[in-house]
Chain A
Amino acid sequence: MTVVEDFGRAPVSACPACAVVPSAERIAALRAERDGQRDGRIMLSLPLAHCAACISTVEGALAAVPGVRSARVNLTLKRVSIDAAHDVTAANLIAVLAREGQEAHELDPGLLSSTETDRQGRDLLMRLGVAFFSMMNVMLLSVAVWSGAEDATRDLFHWISGAIALPTVIFAGQPFFKSAWASLRVGRLGMDVPISLALILASSISVYETWMSGHHAYFDAAVMLAFFLLLGRYLDHRTRAVARSAAEELAALEVPRAIVLEDGVEVERAISAIKAGDIVLVRPGARMPVDGVVIHGASEVDRSLLTGESLPVAAGEGTLVSAGEVNLTGPLTLRVTAAGKDSSLHRMADLVAVAEGAKTRYTSLADRAAGAYSPLVHLLSFSAFGYWMWATGGDLRYAINISAAVLIITCPCALGLAVPAVITSASGKLFRKGLLIKDGTALERLAEVDAVIFDKTGTLTLGMPEPVALTDHPAEVLAVAAALAAGSSHPLARALAAGALADGVVPALVQDIREVPGHGIEGVWNGAPVRLGRADWCGAEAVPQTATYLRLEGSTHAFAFTDRPRPGAAEAVAALQAAGMRVELLSGDSEAPVRELAARLGIAHWQAGVLPEQKAARVAALSAEGRHVLMVGDGLNDTAALAAAHVSISPATALDAARVASDIVLLGQDMAPIADAVRIGRQSTKRMVENFLISGGYNVVAVPLALVGMATPLAAALAMSLSSITVSLNAMRLR
């Protein structure tokens, strides 16, 4: 698959996140390809699988299903791939696994295949293996030379070393040669130019010295260089590959299809194939795929992802709906007014692109180090060459030897490992805590944060209502309400039913329960009609909070709800404030729930009814004050602010666009890891700086030796391996 190719050291795109999250076009293309060659292969995600027993349970249960040819669990990726006959459906298998207590979700195999055949990673690993093999063998021969092999024996050992090292350098060095050539062609001095130069110079000098029966050959240095640098590059690649495969998995969970009515017949279509004027059916619980106007049906829609409003809005004939809203109670038939690129969902995503473009690209520590390093190394090496040409009266062989030794010793083995080792270690730690780092520089940016802005609905709260003070109502009222609520899938009704169940309320015997889409539920209790639903429908007076109303024998009762904060939200806010950060809450919701939540979490600065542009403007205002803002949000109304912020986090439940715009994705429900992330970010930046100092320290000792011509291959080998090992060990010290 071609999508893998442009991933490695390719020129940095304007939006780093785009490289990680597959674009909508690519998803559509991959899906089309998949539809063309459906081969009975099913891929399920198993978020809870973690042990040997899980593997046997899942594989055993699936193998027992008729039609399944084989099932193999991959615990690293928490997935199972199933080879089955065509009549076996994913829904079937998910039900089978649910009976075994395993949660499973269908994944789109077409979207995931690119990760499975991760050719670039395998390619790097292959070169790494070859370099390791050669390094060990050449080192064995070199030790013999260092311990005093003379004359013919030394020459023989040098020749054998060369026979191993030259093919290795040519094969293993290719990633460096390619990228050095690419940067030279655009007239820049990247980190790979001195690396390639050192590899080539060390190998050719050594061949020449061996030919002339010289004392010193640097074959071991050349392969060791290749090995350590490939190691750094492989770690770097793996961090990104893990982030990418998880991001792909998030994308693969969403199925961009819609039901189109053609002459009254329901047809499933890809969203890209829908045009304005088509008639689309949206079932309860589904997300609006397009912008449109309701022509039939009544329901309520949840706009929280677009506007931050926590209250569902009634929708009937003539109501305008936007892509991204969720239909709650009744089926709706829409006439499409805008689809695909013209829809409001897409226009919001464009806002993100604008914000991304305006953001100055962050120069990472590694970039800054490379920028200072490359010219310095070349300068040192050339001046050593010039000086020794002059001092020895034109001894070319000696001067080249010295300048090669300088290049080899200063070569950034440790520098190439300094950042990838820390990032690998830190992102592994954060991944275990449930945070996915999409961009390597996110850790460095996180370390500079001194202000945090939270969104409310779906970010600080779960977006799930919870009834308050249920027991204040008479038992009879509660029993009727619980019975009615059990008959609906509306979020308020479900919360009410669950709350009543938790309080031990036994539902009353209500008959003829039916749902009136867009209004509520009604039934007959003790011969009298009862209703649970919207205030106007029940004839009740609306209260300022989120509430649902019960009409019972002429009287009405209001059940108020509050949005439950995410677990760990209070801890995260407290920890961030304790670290001296300014914490703000900006929400598009109405004032009462925002004020309540702010008080509950102890956030002093809050604002309600904020528009998307105002959120972005607030981020810009704080940045103008010289602050570095961390934005945490999940909705489309947050995307512009997420993109504009110094660094941004979104929960995995967020909309695609919000996840694309953010640097870090929170995988679990718990918010507490956010405070940890900031701490680990600060720590890892400190480790990176320490690592640069360590590798610089080795150079300060070794370079003068090389300049005066006292560096032997043994000294070069020692400096190189010692600095690489110290740097890796230092990276592991992250807590």
Chain B
Amino acid sequence: MEILAILIPVSLLLGGIGLAAFFWAMKTKQFDDPDGDAQRILTKDWDDRPKP
């Protein structure tokens, strides 16, 4: 059962990373335009290099 001492903190840590990513996404307005983001992936602009 000693393995729990590692597994539980690990699972909490992983979940916590997910939560932090969610917070970041909220703060940077990633959910403001779901339709547009779904369409933008189809455009050919900036395919060869990132948008400056």
**CB-CB contacts below 8 Å: A665-687 with B:** none
A480 to B12 alpha-carbon distance, docked (Å):
83
Q: Are A75 and B31 in touch, CB under 8 angstroms?
A: no
Residues in A234-250 with C-beta less than 8 Å from chain B = none
The answer to whether A76 touches B32, judged by C-beta atoms less than 8 angstroms apart, is yes
Complex interface bits, A116-156 against B, C-beta within 8 A gives 1, otherwise 0: 10000010011001100100110011000000000001001
- Taking a contact as CB atoms under 8 Å apart, the answer to whether A133 and B26 are in contact is no
Chain B binding surface SS class: helix
Interface centre among A75, A136, A141 (most CB of B within 10 A): A75
A74 to B7, CA, bound (A): 43
CB contacts between A and B, total, < 8 Å: 55
- Are B1 and A153 in contact (CB-based, < 8 A)? yes
Task: Let me know if B19 and A55 touch, CB within 8 A.
Answer: no
From A51, A76, A125, A129, B34 is in contact (CB under 8 Å) with A76
| Alpha-carbon distance A55/B36, docked complex (angstroms) | 8
What's the Cα separation between A97 and B18 when bound, in Å? 41
Q: A137-B11, A137-B12 are in contact. Are A129 and B22 (CB under 8 A)?
A: yes
Establish whether residues B39 and A52, one from each chain, have CB atoms under 8 Å apart when the complex forms.
yes
Residues in A with CB closer than 8 Å to B19 are 129-130, 133
Closest residue of chain B to A129 (Cβ to Cβ) is B22
**Bound Cα distance from A51 to B43, whole angstroms:** 10
User: Which residue in B1, B16, B18, B39 is a CB contact (below 8 Å) of A55?
Assistant: B39
Contacts of B23 in A (CB 8 A): 126, 129
Residues of A within 8 Å of B16, CB to CB, are 133
CA A73 – CA B24 in complex, angstroms? 22
Contact (Cβ within 8 A) B15 A76: no
Bound-complex Cα distance A60 to B33 (A): 19
Which residues of the other chain, B, contact A130 by a CB distance below 8 angstroms? 19
Q: Are A75 and B1 in contact (CB under 8 A)?
A: no
Interface string of B34-50 (1 = CB under 8 A from A): 11100111110100000
Whether B8 sits at the interface, judged by CB under 8 Å, is: yes
In the complex, what's the smallest C-beta–C-beta distance from A342 to chain B, in angstroms?
42
CA distance A73 to B43 in the complex (A): 13
Q: A74-B32, A126-B23 are in contact. Are A133 and B39 (CB under 8 A)?
A: no
Q: Does A56 contact B (CB under 8 A)?
A: yes
In the complex, the answer to whether A74 meets B36 with C-beta atoms within 8 Å is yes
Decide: A75 and B11 in contact? CB cutoff 8 A. no
> Are A75 and B33 closer than 8 Å at their CB atoms?
yes
Question: Is A91 on the interface with B (CB-CB < 8 A)?
Answer: no
Which residues from A are CB-within-8-Å of B12? 137, 164
**Chain B contacts for A52, CB-based, 8 A:** 39-43
Count of chain A residues near B, Cβ 8 A: 26
Kindly report which residue of chain A lies nearest to residue B34, judged by CB atoms.
A76
Number of residues from B at the complex interface, CB < 8 A: 24
A125 to B27 Cα, complex, angstroms:
11
Task: Report the minimal beta-carbon distance from B7 to chain A, rounded to whole angstroms.
Answer: 10
A160 at the B interface (CB under 8 A):
yes
B-contact 0/1 string along A189-200, CB 8 Å cutoff:
000000000000
CA distance A53 to B42 in the complex (A): 9
Who on chain A is nearest to B22 by CB? A129
Highest count of chain A CB atoms <10 Å: which of B34, B41, B43: B43
Contact B22 A55 (CB under 8 A): no
Interface flags for A65-77 (1: CB within 8 Å of B; 0: not) read 0000000011111
| Bitwise interface map of A from 152 to 168 toward B, beta carbon under 8 Å scored 1, else 0 | 01001000100010000
Q: How many Å from the CB of A379 to the closest CB on chain B?
A: 39
B33 contact set on A, CB distance < 8 A: 74-77
Known: A55-B40, A126-B23. A133 touches B18 (CB 8 A): yes
Are A160 and B8 in contact, CB atoms less than 8 angstroms apart?
yes
Chain A contacts for B32, CB-based, 8 A: 74, 76, 116
A130 to B20, CA, bound (A): 10
- Docked complex Cα distance between A497 and B21 (Å): 61
| Minimal Cβ-Cβ distance residue in A for B8 | A160
Closest A residue to B14 by beta carbon equals: A137
Min CB gap A3→B, angstroms: 19
Question: How far is A56 from B18 in the complex, measured between Cα atoms in Å?
Answer: 32
Complex alpha-carbon distance, A141 and B11, angstroms: 10
Q: Are B39 and A125 in contact (CB under 8 A)?
A: no
Cβ contacts under 8 Å, A136 to chain B: 15
Report the separation of the CA atoms of residues A133 and B18 in the bound assembly, to the nearest whole angstrom: 8
In the complex, per-residue mask of A38-76: 1 if CB is within 8 Å of any chain B CB, else 0 = 000000000000011101100010000000000001111
Q: Is the CB of B26 within 8 A of A126?
A: yes
| Residues on the A chain within 8 Å of B40, using CB | 52, 55
B15 and A75 form a contact (CB under 8 A): no
CA of A235 to CA of B48, assembled, Å: 39
Q: Which residue of A lies closest to B42 (CB)?
A: A52
What B residues does A60 contact at CB under 8 A? Answer: 45
The interface residues of chain B lying within 8 Å CB-to-CB of A129 are: 19, 22-23, 26
Whole-angstrom distance between the Cβ of B16 and the nearest chain A Cβ: 8
Given A75-B39, A77-B33, check contact A137 B15 (CB 8 Å): yes
Q: Are B39 and A140 in contact (CB under 8 A)?
A: no
Tell whether A140 pairs with B26 under 8 Å between CB atoms, given A74-B32, A76-B32, A129-B19: no
CB distance from B12 to the nearest CB of A (A): 6
Q: Please name all residues of chain B whose beta carbon is closer than 8 Å to the beta carbon of A76 when the two chains form the complex.
A: 32-36
Shortest beta-carbon distance from A508 to chain B in Å? 50
Contact at B43–A75, with CB atoms within 8 Å?
Answer: no
Determine how close the nearest CB of chain A comes to the CB of B41; give it in whole angstroms.
8
Using a CB-CB cutoff of 8 Å, which residues 548-593 of chain A contact chain B?
none
Min CB gap A74→B, angstroms: 4
Whether B35 lies near A75 (C-beta < 8 A) is yes
By a CB distance below 8 angstroms, the chain A residues around B42 are 52
Contacts of A156 in B (CB 8 A): 4
Closest 3 CB pairs of A and B: A75-B36, A52-B39, A52-B42
**What are 18 of the A-B contact pairs (CB < 8 Å)?**
A52-B39, A52-B40, A52-B41, A55-B36, A56-B43, A56-B45, A74-B32, A75-B36, A76-B35, A122-B26, A129-B26, A130-B19, A133-B16, A133-B19, A136-B15, A137-B12, A140-B11, A160-B8
Given A74-B33, A133-B19, 10 other A-B residues pairs in contact with their CB atoms under 8 A: A52-B39, A74-B36, A75-B35, A76-B32, A76-B34, A76-B36, A129-B23, A129-B26, A130-B19, A137-B12
